[in-house]
Amino acid sequence: MSAWANPRLMSAAFEDFPIRLAIARGPAATFAFLTLSLIYPRNFALPQDINFAITCSNMIEQKPPQKSFSAAILNWYDRHARRLPWRSLPGEQPDPYHVWLSEIMLQQTTVVTVGPYFDKFLTLWPTVQDMAAAPLDDILTAWAGLGYYARARNLHKCAIAISEGYNGQFPSERDQLLALPGVGPYTAAAISAIAFNKSETVVDGNIERIISRLYRIDTPLPSAKTEITTYAAKLTPLRRAGDYAQALMDIGATICTPRSPNCGGCPVSDFCAAGTTGDMERFPVKAPKKVKPTRRAVVFWLERLDGFVLLCRREEKGLLGGMMEFPSTEWCEEEIGVEEAMNSLFSNGFQKWTDRPSEKELVRHTFTHFHLELRPVVVLIKGTDTSILPSGQWVRPEDFGSYALPTLMTKVLRAVVKGRG
């Protein structure tokens, strides 16, 4: 379809008459208008944003102004690039291990949160081979607090794959990277572009926002992803693709922010349809959010007479896979009472094991797809026979720091400690 017929671009372009009307009529009319405006400037005045009109004309003819767009981006990056711990300095060769580690950590997590974790990981494991040789438990423990723990398990698997399959050297091609554990299309493109300067199109959340505003894309996310990637690919330069991707990330993080974008300070405002029409915050359009269900459970702080507390390991696959936890009833939407939960844990009747289970303050946590409410219950185990309890490790609370406890379980720990006064 000729983009002259693209209603989105056209509506962005036609708010100023008559130049926009001329654009609507086609290249010949546009040329005629521009010629007349030179001869009779009073009668055929050009709007202030003629630059934009010409840009739209380029877009409309499906000729994205790739060179000038990327030149504006790179020019801005040379002066304003953020200094981040994983970024190489100008003129330095990026380290693929650093790029990979930061990209995995930054998924679903902010730059501010990732900074100290990135430093800690590099101190513990300066090379990918060091990480491959470490026990998974050490990786999970160091990762605790970053969330989405499947990333940590895949991090370890990927380190082993690089160490054993590639002699410790990251491959540079997108397809090879895609075959690695935990490396999806975004991460493969980012590593290939940033670490190896390949002309790959990188589209993260920040870049998604910029592209959807540049073209005023009305399709809601996530359906719009393919459309956004197609536009982004047309703009990706052949040279300095890594700097270009990082520049867009920086612009998205500091200028083209979700609320109140600073279009006045934006290096690509001349190219931006939404920036011109002033409805930037409408983009990206998002599909209405589904209401998250709430799941509930009773979580047990099982404490022996010698002060040791029971920790169990979650199954390797699934949510918080491989992490340590306090045992709990099943997480489900139906509420379960403390007495029923106690009876399900101690099949012979809990009175034999403990006098008075003590309830603590409710712990709330939100995962991607559901909210969770945990009711902590402290149970002091009488006697020494703990064989009927779930299998796990008995640990002194002061040693919990050596175990991979996810944030959710540190909340339970805090609720128990607070409840004891």
Q: For residue 246, which of 108, 109, 89, 66 has the smallest C-alpha distance?
A: 89
Rounded-to-integer distance, Cα 212 and Cα 222, Å: 12
Report DSSP letters for 129-160, one per residue: HHHHHS-HHHHHHHHTTS--THHHHHHHHHHH
Pairwise CA distance, residues 163 & 389, whole Å: 40
Closest CB to ligand SF4: residue number: 275
Task: Identify the H or E element spanning 393.
Answer: strand 393-395
Active site residues: 103
- HSE-up of 362 (CA within 13 Å, CB side)? 10
228 phi and psi angles, rounded to 5 deg = -65, -45
Contact set with ligand SF4 (CB under 6 A) = 210, 213-214, 255-256, 261, 263, 266, 268-269, 272, 274-275, 280
Asked if 199 and 236 count as a contact pair (C-beta separation under 8 A), the reply is yes
Q: What is the largest CA-CA distance in the chain?
A: 101
CB 372 within 8 A of CB 352: no
230 CB contacts (<8 Å, ≥6 apart)? Answer: none
Non-local CB neighbours of 245 within 8 Å, separated by 6+ positions: 189, 190, 193, 194, 200, 202, 207
Burial 339-349 (b: 16+ CB within 10 A, else e): eebbeebbeee
Q: Is 180 exposed, middle or buried (0-12, 13-18, 19+ CB in 10 A)?
A: buried
Which single residue is written with the structure tokens 């040329």?
31
Amino acid, single-letter form, for residue 109: T
What is the rounded distance in angstroms from the CA atom of residue 56 to the CA atom of residue 15? 12
